[in-house]
């Protein structure tokens, strides 16, 4: 039988005001998103420049879903049970960040490392360079998923239910700041600023800055937050700590999710089939269109560093994307009603902005409505990509997606955080006090039956949110990573059919000439993602 978990020390965050405390709690997401942005912006064109075909490159990105599928739930369970005197989440954040940094440096200096150990094997070095680069990307993906799982769980662990919406909003803002900083640095020529101090290529310098930024941001949050220390989780560790028990708990919890959690997870699943090709291929898509236009106007001249050109051009459009995302994360909470917003929730706005938005308070859409329309906007935007032929139009398509992205990384965690906190109560699920009708006896009976069924199915594994937040957020991440498997194989098939062999523009840069006629394979992948995002918008209405 499970017993109540016991703790020592209370959670606390340094800072004299709520805004400072929220900023420090979520500061780690700046470096996290900066690192994700570096990988998404540069790694696809980097692999293509090494000679990989697009279909094989899409298989490399299966590292993301594999790492998310395995790492986040396992790290969530291990952290939930951790009795470290430093807390349950921060040791995984710091350790994961260190591994990410090592893998990033290996990725940036892959060629030099291989040539150092095999200086006389130039004919075989190319395949070795590709292999080491792919392994480095896998290392980054696995480690950064551990960091992300711990950062998100730290927010849920530290904040009470009435602060979950605020915490998720701040997390979105910090992620947006990380995007802005990362894409601005990626869009400028860092070699003119740093010379060869951080490396002799743009890619190396971005990698160094990303590694330092991740260490700094994770360090700030780890310093500012004091976690509760778990003394006992109320279970017999001899029966519940094995690998089989971990996977059994994940599977059992996944199959018996509460109804609203299940819908949130499926919304995440369908929307991320669309987000996968956008996040990993949008830079390459914009860069290809740029190179095609440039080839027509420069009489076939090719840049000496096509990878840097694609990275900078793609990052320029992503700068606008991230600025729109940042503005959305700052402004949307002012005009969107909190989930289950009532008088018990802390006001999100100081008096002066509240006066500005007061006339719209009665007409505020819910966060659910905003999430639905953002999925519709995202779907329509992706469906337009096959018809884009100019760099300006492609940049506009990428930029406008910043608005739905702001909600995509805010709404699921906001709703999930509320639902996780609700599980700590054994009462009937929350019903808004604003509802003029009392729930019927049949509805109450149905809710009680659902609670009893869930308690029976979960048995001794059913604990309060404080002990299982990592598990539930890990399950949410499963529904974020599983669609990436779908996106990976869809992309592989599309690339193999429409663009077999090496990438057209980057292959041209290494003197392999191929025609550039026919539909753009990346645009076709995005169109398919748009259809999936539309399905997500319809599921959102079911909440």
CB 460 within 8 A of CB 237: no
For the chain, the structural domain boundaries read 15-230, 255-339+366-426+446-542
pLDDT tens for each residue of 312-343: 676 678 788 888 888 888 888 888 875 544 43
Q: 302: closest CA among 111, 504, 502?
A: 504
Cα distances from 176 to residues 285, 286, 407, 481, in angstroms, run 22, 21, 11, 21
Q: Encode the chain (543 residues) as per-residue pLDDT tens digits.
A: 445 556 666 778 888 898 999 999 999 999 998 888 788 777 877 887 787 777 777 778 777 677 767 777 778 778 777 778 888 888 999 999 999 999 999 998 998 898 888 776 666 778 888 889 989 988 998 898 889 888 888 888 888 877 877 888 888 889 888 888 877 777 777 777 777 777 778 888 888 999 999 999 999 999 998 887 777 655 555 445 555 666 777 778 888 888 888 999 999 999 999 998 898 788 778 877 877 766 555 444 555 555 566 666 766 787 888 888 888 888 888 888 755 444 333 344 444 554 555 555 567 788 888 899 999 999 999 999 999 888 888 889 998 998 999 888 888 888 887 787 777 554 433 333 333 333 333 433 444 344 444 444 444 444 444 456 667 877 887 888 888 888 888 888 888 888 765 554 444 544 333 445 567 888 999 999 999 999 999 998 877
Cα distances from 381 to residues 136, 281, 285, 385, 529, in angstroms, run 33, 15, 14, 7, 10
| 15-230 shares its CATH topology with 255-339+366-426+446-542 | yes
What is the pTM for the complete model shown? 0.66
Cα distances from 486 to residues 112, 270, 473, in angstroms, run 35, 10, 21
CATH code of the region 255-339+366-426+446-542: 1.20.1250.20
Residue 90, phi then psi, degrees to nearest 5:
-60, -40
CB 34 within 8 A of CB 182: yes
The per-residue pLDDT for 476 is: 85
Contacts of 133 (CB under 8 A, 6+ apart): 46, 47, 50, 107, 110
The per-residue pLDDT for 445 is: 41
The per-residue pLDDT for 379 is: 95
What CATH number matches the domain at 15-230, 1.10.645.10, 3.40.50.20, 1.10.1740.10, 1.20.1250.20?
Answer: 1.20.1250.20
The per-residue pLDDT for 457 is: 40
């Amino acid at each position: 039988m499970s017993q109540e978990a016991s703790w020592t020390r209370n959670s606390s965050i340094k800072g004299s005001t709520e805004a400072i405390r929220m900023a420090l709690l979520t500061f780690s997401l700046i470096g996290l998103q900066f690192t994700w942005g570096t990988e998404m912006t540069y790694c696809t064109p980097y692999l293509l420049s090494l000679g990989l075909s697009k279909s094989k490159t899409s298989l490399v990105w299966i590292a993301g879903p594999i790492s998310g599928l395995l790492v986040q739930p396992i790290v969530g369970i291990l952290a939930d049970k951790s009795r470290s005197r430093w807390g349950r989440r921060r040791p995984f954040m710091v350790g994961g960040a260190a591994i990410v940094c090592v893998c990033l440096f290996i990725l940036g200096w892959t060629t030099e490392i291989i040539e150092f150990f095999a200086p006389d094997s130039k004919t075989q070095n190319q395949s070795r360079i590709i292999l080491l680069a792919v392994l480095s990307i896998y290392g980054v993906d696995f480690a950064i998923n551990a960091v992300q799982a711990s950062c998100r769980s730290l927010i849920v662990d530290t904040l009470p239910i009435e602060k979950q919406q605020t915490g998720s909003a701040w997390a979105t803002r910090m992620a947006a700041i990380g995007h802005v900083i990362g894409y601005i640095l990626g869009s400028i020529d860092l070699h003119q600023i740093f010379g060869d101090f951080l490396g002799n290529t743009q890619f190396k310098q971005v990698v160094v800055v990303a590694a330092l930024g991740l260490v700094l941001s994770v360090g700030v949050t780890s310093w500012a937050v004091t976690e509760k220390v778990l003394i006992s989780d109320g279970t017999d560790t001899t029966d519940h700590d094995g690998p089989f028990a971990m996977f059994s708990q994940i599977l059992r919890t996944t199959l018996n999710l509460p109804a609203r959690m299940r819908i949130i997870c499926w919304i995440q699943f369908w929307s991320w089939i669309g987000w996968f090709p956008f996040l990993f291929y949008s830079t390459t898509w914009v860069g290809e269109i740029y190179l095609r236009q440039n080839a027509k106007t420069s009489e076939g001249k090719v840049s000496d560093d096509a990878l840097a050109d694609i990275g900078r051009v793609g990052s320029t459009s992503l700068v606008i994307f991230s600025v729109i995302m940042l503005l959305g994360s700052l402004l949307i909470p002012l005009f969107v009603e909190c989930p289950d917003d009532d008088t018990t929730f802390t006001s999100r706005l100081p008096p002066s902005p509240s006066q500005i938005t007061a006339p719209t308070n009665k007409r505020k859409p819910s966060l659910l409505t905003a999430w639905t329309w953002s999925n519709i906007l995202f779907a329509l935007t992706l469906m337009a990509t096959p018809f884009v032929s100019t760099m300006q139009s492609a940049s506009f398509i990428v930029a406008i997606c910043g608005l739905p992205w702001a909600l995509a990384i805010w709404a699921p965690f906001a709703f999930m955080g509320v639902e996780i906190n609700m599980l700590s109560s054994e009462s009937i699920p929350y019903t808004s006090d604003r509802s003029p009708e009392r729930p019927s006896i049949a509805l109450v009976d149905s809710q009680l039956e659902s609670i009893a069924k869930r308690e029976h199915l979960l048995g001794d594994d059913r604990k309060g949110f404080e002990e299982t937040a990592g598990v539930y957020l890990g399950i949410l991440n499963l529904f974020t990573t599983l669609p990436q498997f779908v996106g990976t194989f869809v992309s592989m098939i599309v690339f193999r059919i429409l663009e077999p062999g090496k990438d057209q523009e980057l292959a041209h840069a290494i003197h392999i000439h191929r025609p550039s006629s026919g539909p753009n394979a990346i645009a076709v992948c995005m169109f398919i993602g748009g259809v999936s995002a539309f399905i997500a918008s319809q599921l959102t209405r079911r909440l």
